[in-house]
A = this chain, B = another copy of it.
Amino acid sequence: MSELKYSVELSAFWPPADRCVPGGYRKPMEIEQMLDALAGIDGLDGTEIYWPGDFDDPVAMKSMLDERGLGVASVGVDIFADAQWQKGALTSADTALRGEAIQRHKDAMDAAVVLGVDTLTMWPGQDGFDYPFQSDYRALWQRLTDGVREVGEHNPNIRVAVEYKVKEPRSHLLVSNVGKALTLVHDVGLANVGVCLDVGHALIAFENPGESMALLDAYDRLFHVHMNDNYREWDYDMLPGSVHLWETLEAFYWMDRLGYEGWINFDICPFREDPVRASQETISMARQLMRAARELDHDRLETLQKTGDSVAICTLLRESVLKG
C-alpha cells in the first residue's frame, strides 16, 4: 500500500483576484496566520510553497514550518506572476529575461535543499501564445527544452516536476498535456526531470487523470501530483471530487495501484469560499476517497477491465461507493 501525504498549497490562502475583481475577493492574511490555519487542518501533512512569492528566506520559512509540524510537498517556482515574463519566461527571446527565469529555478532548488525538500514544481505558465501566427514554435520549443535541461542539471538530487496545462494565462501553453510533457522530458533526457500531474489540468486537456498517471508511471515520470476539480473547459480549481467524483476516485485508485509514494498537493483556489473550511473539506474528501479506492474489490475490477465491462463496473462502483 502506497504511503501518501496531503498538502494544501499556501497560495490557497492568498486572496484570489481575477480580471473582474482585480482588487481581490477577500482580505489578505498574514503568513503566520495562514500557516496556523494550515496546521489546524485535520489530516493535513504539509503545504506547498512558491519561491519567491511565499518565501525568500528558506531558513526562516523552515523554522516557521517546523514549529507547526508542517512538511513541504514541493517548492513551486514563480515565473508567471511578474509582468516582465508576460510573453514567455523559459522561452523568452530576450536572453536576459530567459536567463533570469532559469536562475530563479536554480535559486529555488538551492532553497529546497535548505528546506530539506527533494521536489521542485516548474510551471511554464506564460510560455505559450495567444494568436494564430504569433510565434515561431520551433524556436520556442528549442528554448524550452534547453532551459529545462539547464535547470535539471543544476542539482541532480532535486527532482524537477514539470506541470503541464493546456491554457491560462495564455490561450495556448506549450507544455499543454501529458503527451507534450513526456515529449519534453524525453528530449531533456535527465533522470531527475519528470512531470507534475495536476488532476484539474488533466481534465481540461480531456484526459482521464488515471490514464495519464499510468502513462507517466510507465516511463517512471510521475514525480508529483496536484489535485482539484473543474468543469473541463477551464481550470476553476474547485474542491476535489465536487464535479468529477468518479474520475477523482479513479485517480486515487491508480495512485494506489501504481504504488505512488509521495505527496498530493491540493491547489484549490477558493475564490468565494473560506480557505480554511475549503481546505478541511478537501482533506476530508481526499481521505475518504482514498479509503474508498482501497476498499474497492481490486481483483474483480481488474477482471472486468480485461473485457472493458463498463456496465458491471458501474454496478460495482455504485454498490461500493454510494450509500444505500
Contact = CB atoms under 8 A, between A and B. Distances in A.
- The winner among A24, A208, A271, A291 for most chain B CB atoms within 10 A is A208
Contact of A305 (B26, B136, B247, B312): B136
Contact of A313 (B17, B131, B272): B131
Interface stretch (A29-37, A104-112, A168-176): A168-176
For this chain, the copies found in one complex come to 4
B93 A130 contact: no
B206 A176 contact: yes
A215 B141 contact: yes
A315 B171 contact: no
A210 interface: yes
Interface in A236-272: 236, 238-239, 241-247, 249-250, 253-254, 269-272
A320 interface: yes
B245 A246 contact: yes
Contact of A178 (B180, B211, B274, B284): B180
A121 to B, nearest CB: 15
22 contacts: A18-B169, A19-B269, A20-B168, A21-B81, A21-B83, A21-B86, A21-B169, A23-B81, A24-B83, A87-B308, A133-B253, A134-B308, A134-B310, A138-B218, A141-B215, A168-B234, A171-B234, A171-B236, A172-B206, A242-B310, A242-B314, A322-B322
